[in-house]
Amino acid sequence: MFKWIISEKEFVISTLLLIFTVVSVLCAFKAYKHQKKRAQKELSCDLAKYYASSIIDKYALIMHVFSVAGLDKKTKEIFDY
């Protein structure tokens, strides 16, 4: 039969390598989550820039026409949110 006897040096080395591996995996996971959050924030900023530069100008003209025609109150009643 095989005898699995590990010397103290092998045990210490294995334990240190295990700890190093666990710490490396945790750091990689934390970096992945950070990168994911940062990408989400960047996309949100890009969407906000697009909204500010493209949609607000067009929407302001429509809202002006609606308010002059008296439709702004009716749209607020219909789409109450």
Instruction: State in Å, rounded, how far the first CA of the chain is from the last one.
Output: 76
Token pair, residue 4, equals: 């699995």
Q: What is the pLDDT of residue 17?
A: 97
Q: What is the pLDDT of residue 50?
A: 86
Token pair, residue 74, equals: 């009716």
Q: What is the pLDDT of residue 31?
A: 97
Q: What is the pLDDT of residue 77?
A: 82
CA–CA separation, 4 and 46 (whole Å): 59
Q: What is the pLDDT of residue 26?
A: 98
The pLDDT tens digits for 5-63 are: 778 899 999 999 999 999 999 999 999 999 999 999 999 988 888 887 788 777 888 88
Q: Are 67 and 76 in contact (CB under 8 A)?
A: no
CA–CA separation, 77 and 71 (whole Å): 10
Q: What is the pLDDT of residue 43?
A: 92
